Amino acid sequence: MWSNEMRRNAMARVRDTGEASTSGIITLVQETSIDVQRGFLTYLPLYRYGMPVDTVDQRREAFVGWVYSPFRMDDLMKGILGGG
């Protein structure tokens, strides 16, 4: 994921701010040639328990990794609005 600029920007933003962020519209690696949809990734930062995270430097020091979820846009909208 880090090799893709849009994903990398979202991942760095999450690590440094401590807030959830999305990647923007992308083609997910899970897509195949059938029912290809636009999608996005939502990231949350994961920090070491008990370490301070008040500043960017502290968050970078305490950073362990990301929790993320891919969303396929058409499937997400159908789930929210109903339909099939």
Q: Among 37, 18, 19, which residue's Cα sits nearest to residue 29? A: 37
Task: State the pTM of this model.
Answer: 0.81
Half-sphere exposure of 79 (CA within 13 A, CB side): 6
Say if residue 30 is exposed, middle or buried (CB neighbours under 10 Å; 0-12, 13-18, 19+). Answer: exposed
CA distance 39 to 55: 31
Per the structure, how many domains does the chain have? 1
Structure tokens at 53: 């995270």
Sorted by sequence, the CB contacts under 8 Å of residue 46 that are 6+ apart come out as: 63, 64, 65, 66, 67
Residue 83 has pLDDT above 80, yes or no: no
| pLDDT score at 2 | 78
Q: pLDDT tens, 20-31?
A: 999 989 888 888
Query: What's the domain range around 47?
Result: 5-81
Radius of gyration of the chain (CA): 15
| pLDDT score at 28 | 87
Q: What is the pLDDT confidence band of residue 8, given thresholds at 50, 70 and 90? A: very high
Q: pLDDT tens, 39-79?
A: 999 999 999 999 999 999 999 999 999 999 999 999 899 99
| pLDDT score at 84 | 61
Structure tokens at 12: 């760095």
